[in-house]
Copies of this chain bind each other. A is one copy, B any other.
Amino acid sequence: MDLGETPAGTAPGPRGDLGEIYLDECKARVLDEIRRIVRSGTSGDERAYRLMLDYPLRRAKGLRPALCIAVCRALGGEMEAVLPSAAVIELYHNAFLIHDDIEDGSLERRGGPALHRTHGIPAAINCGDGLLALTLAPLLANTSTLGLGRALRVLEIYARAVTESFEGQAQELAWIDEATWQLTDADYEAMVLHKTCSYSFVAPGLVGAAVAGADPALETTLVPFLENLGLAFQIQDDVLNLEEGRTAYGKELAGDLWEGKRTLMLLHALRTATEADRENALRILGKPRPSAGSPEERLRGLLGAMVEEKVLDEATRAAMTRYLDRLGESSGEKTEDEIRFLRRLIDDHGSIAHARAVADRRARAAEASFSLLAKALPDSVHLRFIGWLKDYVVRREW
């Protein structure tokens, strides 16, 4: 299947899955485009160039640009016309991930250490800002290739998505920071609509439609489809984050619990727990996650070194360690036992089943919107990919 040439679908290839092949082919084109944009914006600074391509070159699905391309092409638009905007969406996504990983204290991303762990927080923040800066030139160049009207519409969609994504992120951080837990499923969904759905689903779809010059009336079908798709995706993402022992999933295991993220599962478990369990859970959630090189860890290391250098005797070290342990219990960091307690609470209260039910409801709503779209549009490999995507978001395993 050559997306640049063939308008219609082909039979499933050796990997047996139209969607996976479509994703792979889009990813290759988008990566080339990203290389071009980053190369032009780093004017020969090899170090900055390599840093900006670090996350994009790791194992990733590339759902966002593929969705953008598929919507555009299903509506009769051209690959060449949509490619720069699709690449911009992926650039923004990578900038968001780099900053998000610092904000959440995440250790892993896409099967490797998070960027701030390999290159330090300063370089990682600046790298994210650099990726954000590089999104503007391709969107402005659209004025020549797409014409003013379509180019400005793409810019409007982009501006709205990045603002909403900031708002959702601010909301999530505030909930963690202020120990908020009395939240409904609707509160969670409203946050996710801003934080994730807007830039990851709504914007890619609307940008694709704008580049194709689609009738604005189509948005009344397209937006609910994209929103439901995004909600189902994020809930499944949260469920996957909880499931331990899977090696195919690139994020650290149960990272959301270490980070105290207010997922549907956690909120459901907190709502339905006994008061004692809830109090314990909130106490745990209020503690920071242990960070590599945390003061406590380094403190214990220093004490060991002092014993070796005979600055400290073993008995005093033991007394000091007990003191630090007591301190750790009252004001320290989350422990593995505590994460297991949260995990068990979620299991005991059927909170994963609850979240899956919400995701299924969203997936069915997306299904209904998709049927309307499929009736309005001619059959194509692109339309079929969009249909594949709506099933994939809830059945994927990484």
Contact = CB atoms under 8 A, between A and B. Distances in A.
Nearest to A170: B48
A377 interface: no
In this complex, the member of A99, A133, A158, A322 whose beta carbon has the largest number of chain B beta carbons within 10 angstroms is A133
Interface stretch (A118-126, A235-243, A355-363): A118-126
Nearest to A98: B125
A320 B293 contact: no
Contacts of A323: 306, 309, 311
Interface residues on A, range: 35 or more
A203 to B, nearest CB: 12
Contact of A133 (B126, B140, B165): B165
Contact of A162 (B133, B156, B322): B133
A294 interface: yes
A133 B295 contact: no
A339 interface: no
A83 B121 CA distance: 34
Contact of A298 (B155, B177, B299): B299
- Report, nearest first, the 8 A-B pairs whose CB atoms are least far apart: A136-B159, A103-B122, A295-B298, A130-B166, A133-B162, A295-B295, A48-B170, A133-B163
Interface of A: 41-43, 45, 47-48, 51, 99, 102-105, 120-123, 125-130, 132-134, 136-137, 140, 143, 148, 152, 155-156, 158-160, 162-163, 165-167, 169-171, 173-174, 177, 293-296, 298-299, 302, 306, 309, 311-313, 316, 319-320, 322-324
20 contacts: A41-B167, A45-B171, A47-B174, A99-B125, A99-B126, A125-B125, A126-B173, A129-B166, A133-B166, A137-B159, A137-B160, A140-B152, A148-B148, A294-B295, A295-B295, A295-B299, A295-B302, A298-B299, A302-B324, A312-B319
